[in-house]
Structures are given as structure tokens and as C-alpha cells.
Chain A
Amino acid sequence: MRQISAAYNRTIKELLRERAALFWTIAWPIIWVIIGSFSFTGGAPQEVIPYIKGSITISMMVFALMIAGMSNLPVSIAGDRADGLLAKLISMPIKPYKDFIGRISAVISLSLLAAALVIVIGVALGARFPGTGAHILQAIGFIFLVICASAGVGLIAGTLIKNLHGAIMTGVGIAVVTSAISGLFAPYEFLPVPLQSFARIYPVSSAQASIVYLLAGPDMVAYNPLTFGQVTLTIVLSIMLLLAGTVLYSRLGWKLE
């Protein structure tokens, strides 16, 4: 446990003291909640605006979770490899999986903090979530899937991309580009048909659609993401990404040859 807590404490302190990480994970989603709440609700009926704001808030919450896994995690891994820290850790009697658990727990903590702040700001700006307690619990399950998928991508990028700046650019690039083409930044119905298919398959966007469906209402989503097939696909792909990232990291992440 001490090795896990050591890795956790170190990673969380570094993340909280890294301005770029705080900007992309917390400030950027909050900025878009504020912009979206005022820009994307013009012309909508008054009674619907709180739920549109709720939908925007959820999208940005998912983006915060995504960027934490896809950008902060590879930066943490690649940064340690670029410095001599990985060599130092390998020379010590510590188990790689404990470092991994501590590190990823810290990234998840930051992402949940960011998500909570986004929700608070969204609610303060008038977002409303008509979901029941059961819906909230199901939504938490989909949040967990977003974290799994994002962490998986982050582990893959951090393991394969040795260069620190390359890891930063790749993580942010994947997060921003996939957000743009999968309906996080723009409504699903405005996407071209091929990208609508991508949005249904990509586990982050399909989980996001599920959370919006549950918490902001079915009218806020252009398709039903809670069909058995769709939910199964989301769960399987999220877990597969996390497993792939974990296996890759455990096999190659602690090798310097």
C-alpha cells in the first residue's frame, strides 16, 4: 500500500502544480460550459434551456474526464521515462503494478475533481438534470466507462510515444479531434452520417450520449444509446481499451532496452 500511496501522492501533487494540466482538464471544459450555456441556447424555448445547458455540462464533464486520461496520463509516463526516474524506479525493489495503480488513481482523482467542478458551474449557470436516483447511478456507471476508455488510450500513448512533447501533443490531439468528430462539441444530428456511426461506436461519445439520455432526458439525444446492443458495445470497447493499455504498459512501459 505504501508504494501505491507514494505514487499517488507524487502524481497528484505534480498534476495539481502543472498549469497546462489544470488548464486542459479543468479550465477548458468550464470555459466551454460558460460559452455553450450562453451561445448555444439562443432561440430555444425557455422550458427546454435548462436541459440544453445540462446536456452541454455533461459533454464538457466527459471532455474533462477524457483529457485527464488521454493527456495527463501519457505525460506522466513519458515524462518519467525522459527524466531518469524510470531507470531509478526500475533499480529499486518496487513492483511496477503498484506504481501503475498509484499513478492512475491520481489521474482519476483529478478527472473526478474536474468533473465535479464542471457540474457545479453548469448547475450555477442554470443546468438541470431531471434524472432519478436510478438514472444517476447508471450515469455513474457510464462515467466509469469513460474513465476506462480514456485511461486505456492514455496508457497506449504513454507507452508507445517515448518523447514527452510527442506524448502531450498526441494525447491532446486525440482528445480534441475525437471530441469534435464524435458529437461532444456539436450536436449528433449535425454530424455527417459516417461520423454519426463513429459517434455510436466510439465508447467515449456513446457513454456521453448515455449519460445525457439518463440525466438530461431523451429529447437531448438524437438516438437511443441505451439499447442492449449499444450498451454492450460501449462496455466491451471501454474495457478492451483499458486492458490493451494495461497489458502494453506492463510489458513495455517498464523496459528501457
Chain B
Amino acid sequence: MFAIHVENLTKAYNSQRVLDGVNLDVPEGEFYALMGPNGSGKTTLASIIAAVKTQDSGIVEVYGKKPTQAKGLIGYVPQENFSSPKLSGRENLVYFATLLGYSRSQANQLATQMLEKVELCEEADKRVAKYSGGMRKRLEVATALFPGIKVLILDEPTTGLDPGARRSFFGMMQEVTDRRATIILITHIGSDAELASRVGLIDNGRIISEGTPDELKRKHVVEDVITVETAVKSDSVLSVLKDHSIDGKVAESEAGYKIYSRNGDKVLADVVRSLDQAGHKVMRIEMAPPTLEDVFFRLTEKQLREVTG
């Protein structure tokens, strides 16, 4: 029996198909990342597995039961912050523990244990309004770590966190989760998904590819990946880069651009020369190992994150 079994799942909102025949099997103890851009259906899929929403058709099972019958096994952490800012960290945890049926003294004890696990003991009695984003998310993850929880569903848990806070968050996750716990991570951040043992790429309501991070990169990105950072971003720069990339495909990133080539060493020199001739200053250029975001781009020609600037 799989911890999570999804078969031919469909869901539509106002005749717009959000999930289009999704199939997914996650064995017990696996850390599975579901990666896709905004609007791909990943949050809707997580909501259905967590029994927050219902599907239009298809099968969803958590340890062989319907999600509504397996709520006691699921620890769901939605994307939005749900802890009450007017209560302290401890009061929030006592609230959720009492909701699950623990007595007042048991809930207090459990809250203390959870606060130790997520390293929030010193801030336990401060109001959540005074917590940083990372602290608040750790508190909310703690509500999903109560005894008996076997499946942890985290929806974009690192949104709004800086890279340091993200690393700290996943470090904490490694320490606090039971090895037998199944973790489903919903994310659009490739570096977060890299930590998973298996990744599913979702786009337009369908899982388009699945595998370990290395398998996905080997299978879908056979070219060299060159990152280029210019002094300015412009259509002119884009035009030069398209001439040097396979199929004219150029991905934008926060640092600059990425192009793909089967002969990276030669193309690297050609790109520098072409940009120089076009009057563009190259700040940095290097060959980089492919990322899951490159995999997604090669499969769909879409970027996972909107790039500003």
C-alpha cells in the first residue's frame, strides 16, 4: 500500500481544467517534491490530498483510505500563514493540540516538545506577530508534527524566506521529521525540490515527468548550461543570446540569462565576443550544472518563477 495513491484525478473550476488526469504514487517514508509554476495545479492537488477540497473524478487514497477518513494521519501546512498573530507560539500550539483532543496539560506538554523540536523555545511566549517569516513557518510546521501524523504536506513553505532562512528551514525539517513520515513538498523553487528523493514536474494539471533530481536532469537536459550576466537586460542582449542557444531558447533568471549548447566551451567564447561586438558588457559568464528549473524549461519552455527587472 502506498502512503498516497492518486489515480486519474480531475478537477475544474468554472469549466477551466486545473487537474487533468493526475496519477501519483508515493511510498511510505518518501520525500516527494511536486514542482511547477503558479497555476499548474499543484496547490489544488495538495488541497485534495489533504481533504480540504474534493475532486471532480478519480481516486485519492491516503494509506488506503479516502482523505476525509484519514485526516488524523495528515499534517497539512497551507501556503498562507495560519497561526494567530495575536496569540503566542505556545498558545497557538496548545490550540491545535486541544483541537485534536488532547487535554490542557497534555497539550501544554506537547507544545513544549514541539517548540524544542523547531527551536522556538526562547520565543515561545512572544506573540506570533513579532516572529520573523521563518520563525512563523517553523511554528506552523510544528502543528503538523503531532504524534500520529504520517503524511506531511507542505505547500510552498519557503515563500518569502531568504536563501539562508530556506536552508535553515530544511535543515530543521531533516532533524524533526520521523524517518517513516512521508513528506509532500509543493514548490516552484528548484533548489528546494533538489532536496527531495523524487520530484514530479507538473504543468497544466498534469505530471509531465517524474524521477530523482539527477534522473530528471540526465534525461531532459543533455546540453551544457551557460549562465550569462550582463550589465543590463534588454531585447538586444536576448537577441544575441538566441543566436547561440539550441533552438533559440533562452531562459531568464534573477542573475541574468541561461542558454543551452552542445559545445559549451566554444559557445562560451562566441557569446562573449558577440555581446562585446553588440556593445553589451558581460559581468559574468560560466558553465553551470543543470538545475531542475532548467529541466522544467526544456520540457515546457516556461519558467517556474516570474523574473522581475
Interface bracket on B: 20 to 34
Q: Which residues of B contact A84 (CB under 8 A)?
A: 78-82
Q: Which of B1-19 contact A (CB under 8 A)?
A: 13
Contact of A2 with B by CB under 8 A: yes
* A6–B71 touching, CB < 8 Å: no
Q: Which residues of B contact A90 (CB under 8 A)?
A: 51-52
Query: B97-105, B184-192, B194-202, B272-280: which one contacts chain A?
Result: B97-105
Contact of B132 with A by CB under 8 A: no
* A256–B86 touching, CB < 8 Å: no
Bound CA–CA A40/B122 (angstroms): 54
* B95–A91 touching, CB < 8 Å: no
Q: Which residues of A contact B143 (CB under 8 A)?
A: 88
Contact of A92 with B by CB under 8 A: yes
- Chain B 97-126, CB-CB to A under 8 Å as 1, else 0, gives 011111100000000000000000000000
* A87–B100 touching, CB < 8 Å: no
* A83–B80 touching, CB < 8 Å: yes
* B76–A91 touching, CB < 8 Å: yes
* B101–A88 touching, CB < 8 Å: no
Q: Which residues of A contact B76 (CB under 8 A)?
A: 87-88, 91-92
Contact of B60 with A by CB under 8 A: no
> Which of A5, A7, A13, A88 is the most central at the interface, judged by chain B CB atoms within 10 Å of its CB?
A88
Closest to A93 in B: B71
Given that A83-B81, A92-B71, A93-B72 are contacting pairs, would A5 and B52 also be in contact in the complex, using a CB cutoff of 8 Å? no
Nearest Cβ in chain A — how far from B202, in angstroms? 20
Of A14, A93, A94, A257, the residue contacting B84 (CB under 8 A) is A14
* B99–A91 touching, CB < 8 Å: no
Given that A83-B80, A87-B78 are contacting pairs, would A3 and B101 also be in contact in the complex, using a CB cutoff of 8 Å? yes
Contact of B87 with A by CB under 8 A: yes
Contact of B268 with A by CB under 8 A: no
Closest to B80 in A: A84
Bound CA–CA A256/B78 (angstroms): 13
Given that A83-B80, A84-B81, A91-B71 are contacting pairs, would A14 and B52 also be in contact in the complex, using a CB cutoff of 8 Å? no
Closest to A87 in B: B78
Q: Which residues of B contact A89 (CB under 8 A)?
A: 99
Contact of A9 with B by CB under 8 A: yes
Contact of B91 with A by CB under 8 A: yes
Q: Which residues of A contact B47 (CB under 8 A)?
A: 87, 256
Contact of A135 with B by CB under 8 A: no
Of A6, A82, A91, A93, the residue contacting B52 (CB under 8 A) is A91
Contact of A219 with B by CB under 8 A: no
Contact of B74 with A by CB under 8 A: yes
Q: Which of A143-170 contact B (CB under 8 A)?
A: none
Q: Which of A46-92 contact B (CB under 8 A)?
A: 82-85, 87-92
* A18–B86 touching, CB < 8 Å: yes
> Which of A3, A10, A17 is the most central at the interface, judged by chain B CB atoms within 10 Å of its CB?
A10
* A91–B53 touching, CB < 8 Å: no
Q: Which of B39-66 contact A (CB under 8 A)?
A: 47, 50-54
Q: Which residues of A contact B71 (CB under 8 A)?
A: 91-93
Q: Which of A1-36 contact B (CB under 8 A)?
A: 2-3, 5-7, 9-10, 13-14, 17-18
Bound CA–CA A85/B79 (angstroms): 10
Bound CA–CA A18/B85 (angstroms): 11
Nearest Cβ in chain A — how far from B150, in angstroms? 13
Given that A6-B95, A87-B52 are contacting pairs, would A93 and B82 also be in contact in the complex, using a CB cutoff of 8 Å? no
Given that A88-B143, A91-B50, A257-B53 are contacting pairs, would A2 and B82 also be in contact in the complex, using a CB cutoff of 8 Å? no
Bound CA–CA A256/B95 (angstroms): 22
Bound CA–CA A7/B95 (angstroms): 8
Given that A13-B91, A14-B87, A93-B72 are contacting pairs, would A87 and B99 also be in contact in the complex, using a CB cutoff of 8 Å? no
Of A3, A14, A83, A87, the residue contacting B98 (CB under 8 A) is A3
Q: Which of A208-247 contact B (CB under 8 A)?
A: none
Q: Which residues of A contact B52 (CB under 8 A)?
A: 87, 90-91, 256
Closest to B98 in A: A6
Bound CA–CA A132/B207 (angstroms): 74
Bound CA–CA A10/B100 (angstroms): 14
Q: Given A85-B82, A88-B143, A91-B76, 20 more contacts at CB 8 Å?
A: A2-B101, A3-B98, A3-B99, A3-B101, A6-B96, A6-B98, A7-B99, A10-B84, A13-B91, A14-B84, A14-B86, A82-B80, A84-B80, A89-B99, A90-B52, A91-B52, A91-B74, A94-B100, A256-B47, A257-B13
**Chain B interfacial positions (CB closer than 8 Å to A):** 13, 47, 50-54, 71-72, 74, 76-82, 84, 86-87, 91, 95-96, 98-103, 143
Per CB-CB distance, the 5 closest pairs between chain A and chain B, nearest first, are A84-B80, A84-B78, A6-B98, A84-B82, A91-B76
Q: List 9 A-B contacts (CB under 8 A).
A: A2-B99, A13-B87, A13-B91, A83-B81, A85-B82, A87-B82, A91-B74, A92-B99, A257-B53
